[in-house]
Amino acid sequence: MKKQLPLLIIITLFVSSNLYAQEAAKDTSYWKKSSQFGANFSNAGFSDWVAGGQNATGFNVFFNTKGEYARDKTTWANDLQLQYGILDNGSGTRKSIDRLFFDTKVGRKLSKVWSLVGGLNFQTQFTSGYKYGANADGSDLKISNLFAPAFITEYVGFEWKPKPFFNIVFAPGAFRQTIVSDESVFQKNKSGVLQPAYGVPVGKSLQNDVAIMQIVASFDKDVAKNVNLKLRYSIFIDANKPANTDNRLDAKLAAKINKYFSATFDLILLYDDDQSFQIQQARNLGLGFLYTF
């Protein structure tokens, strides 16, 4: 069953997307949809530069699509975000950013600002990640891969939405599955003993966790003319270790220069003691093509 999880997740995403498309086709007057496709390019070059420097070329693409359905007291929101980037700095081609994010949420309004909601969130990456040159022989150490890790969270809770662009979901008893489907991601300590990976015990590929409370706050608004800001901050208070709260912030700022060009900035801040006792940070700045439809 565990080996079938990736296939089941893909089927779930496919079915959800098809239902989303079919419902939208029936009556688009209840849907509010938006999509973005972008491609950014960067290049740094040096020749006889006394102060030193490293030639580097980077390229990344992203695709975001969002659909929100509202009819009477029923709401349904879907958010898909795909992003991938590569960088060549003379030492080889390496990835710079890698993200697959899907969120679906169904709600029933209880009042003007409160709703009963249930949803599913899925996050993973597309390709392998490495610590370059980290092995004793100087080779690259694999530390991640597609579905290694992957995080699935299911929840039922209450949503407070005082503004169309801002909401907070409170979900007591949320469930989270952490998947590590690639055994090579498990690393050995200095004594040569395999260690858990992303909270998944050695010999297993799945770890289940239950939250005392999960809180997710989302913000999506044009903060200035042709400037959009997206924020998603999540807190997961694990019932087995409530003192060690998992926190994650995803931020994206997109500034449209003209019809087809924009500047984008991505930032991820993460604290999860199953991965590291340090605050992890990933950021990406790009200038390039953006098409909104």
pLDDT of residue 93: 86
49: in domain: no
If we measure between CA atoms, which residue out of 250, 248, 239 comes closest to residue 215? 248
138 in the Ramachandran plot: left (φ > 0), alpha (ψ -120 to 50) or beta?
A: left
246: in domain: yes
**Residue whose token pair is 């991640």:** 144
Instruction: Give the CATH number, domain containing residue 163.
Output: 2.40.230
pLDDT of residue 186: 95
pLDDT of residue 53: 64
The structure's pTM equals 0.85
144: in domain: yes
pLDDT of residue 70: 93
If we measure between CA atoms, which residue out of 276, 127, 247 comes closest to residue 187? 276
pLDDT of residue 47: 65
Given a contact cutoff of 8 angstroms between Cβ atoms, the answer to whether 120 and 148 are in contact is no
Given a contact cutoff of 8 angstroms between Cβ atoms, the answer to whether 159 and 168 are in contact is yes
51: in domain: no
176: in domain: yes
52: in domain: no
pLDDT of residue 2: 47
Containing domain of residue 279, as a range? 2-44+59-292
pLDDT of residue 1: 44
Given a contact cutoff of 8 angstroms between Cβ atoms, the answer to whether 272 and 256 are in contact is no
50: in domain: no
Given a contact cutoff of 8 angstroms between Cβ atoms, the answer to whether 263 and 287 are in contact is yes
Q: Which amino acid is at 80?
A: L
The 3-state secondary structure of the chain reads CHHHHHHHHHHHHHHHHHHHHHHHHHCHHHEEEEEEEEEEEEEECCCCCCCCCCCEEEEEEEEEEEEEEEECCEEEEEEEEEEEEEEECCCCEEEEEEEEEEEEEEEEECCCCEEEEEEEEEEECCCCEEECCCCCCCCCEEEEECCECEEEEEEEEEEEEEECCEEEEEECCCEEEEECCCHHHCCECCCCCECCECCECCCCCEEEEEEEEEEEEEEEEEEECCEEEEEEEEEEEECCCCCCCEEEEEEEEEEECCCCEEEEEEEEEEECCCCCCCCEEEEEEEEEEEEEC
- Please tell me the total count of domains within the chain: 1
Separation CA 149–CA 274 (nearest Å):
12
One pLDDT digit (tens) per residue for the chain, 293 residues: 444 455 555 555 555 555 555 555 555 679 999 998 999 887 767 666 665 666 778 889 999 999 999 999 999 999 999 999 998 887 788 898 899 999 999 999 999 999 999 999 999 999 999 998 888 888 899 999 999 999 999 999 999 999 999 999 999 999 999 999 999 999 988 888 999 999 999 999 999 999 999 999 999 999 999 899 999 999 999 999 998 899 999 999 989 888 888 898 999 999 999 998 999 998 888 889 988 88
53: in domain: no
